[in-house]
Amino acid sequence: MPLPKTATKRQQSRARLLRWRARQAAIKSFGAQAVKGMAVHHRNGDQTDNHPKNLKLERKDIHGKMHGRGNTHRNAYRRTKGNAKVITEKIFHGF
């Protein structure tokens, strides 16, 4: 989950440390080549639980969509500042 824009430097440092520890645990479990370019997902949602059975490798775009990020109607509306009808048609109708 991304940090809010108002996150302190200490919160940002802790988040980076947790991500680094998760990646190191995934490299130990799956190998460096398998982890390269992938996102590490915690199955139980606890970022401090880096047990190999709790870690799962996901493509970054899939992982983002799992956490509510990605190319969704809500995000398209935010990007266009109100011109969501055109964007919605492009997303859902393929135009």
Tokens of 12: 């940002």
Name the 3-class secondary structure at 58.
strand
Residue 84 lies in a domain: no
Name the 3-class secondary structure at 18.
helix
Query: Cβ atoms within 10 A of the Cβ of 15, count?
Result: 15
Residue 93: predicted pLDDT: 44
Domain count, the chain: 1
Domain, as residue range, for 15: 9-69
Residue 75 lies in a domain: no
Residue 30: predicted pLDDT: 92
Residue 6: predicted pLDDT: 77
Residue 16 lies in a domain: yes
Residue 23 lies in a domain: yes
- Per-residue pLDDT of the chain (95 residues), as tens digits, is 566 777 888 988 998 999 999 999 999 999 999 999 899 999 998 989 999 999 999 888 887 777 776 654 444 444 444 444 444 444 444 44
Name the 3-class secondary structure at 41.
strand
